[in-house]
Structure 1
């Protein structure tokens, strides 16, 4: 376990993804497409996830950590 400014990091994962911006393989599994289709089939869930993405997509991980820590301590 490593400790970074944004929280704990598992060493193996940190080594694999350190410095990378995109961590999702370009070859998505069929399960990912099935999950996407399931979510999109429920309009309320799809709208909620779109709103969350719209609100938070431009934040860095460190900024999101600050937000969640502020929410927890309030």
Structure 2
């Protein structure tokens, strides 16, 4: 089994477009303030969650490896 991901949304950056919830409905929900929240802080790697992070219009979603903190998205440049 691979390492788990830690998913975070910067709610100060999130504009509530809903793209993440539409792309990965098992990964994200918009709350009453129309800000995204991950459904689980840690989860197994998931291609839909990664696609949601990649397509966030304001890059509010970060994914790191839960055990090491190494960045999965956005990738280090």
**TM range, normalised to the smaller chain?**
under 0.3
Look at both structures and tell me which one has the larger radius of gyration over its CA atoms: 1
Which protein has greater RCO, CA pairs closer than 8 Å, 6+ apart? 2
Q: TM-score, normalised on structure 1?
A: 0.20
Structure with the higher strand share, 1 or 2: 2
Q: TM-score, normalised on structure 2?
A: 0.20
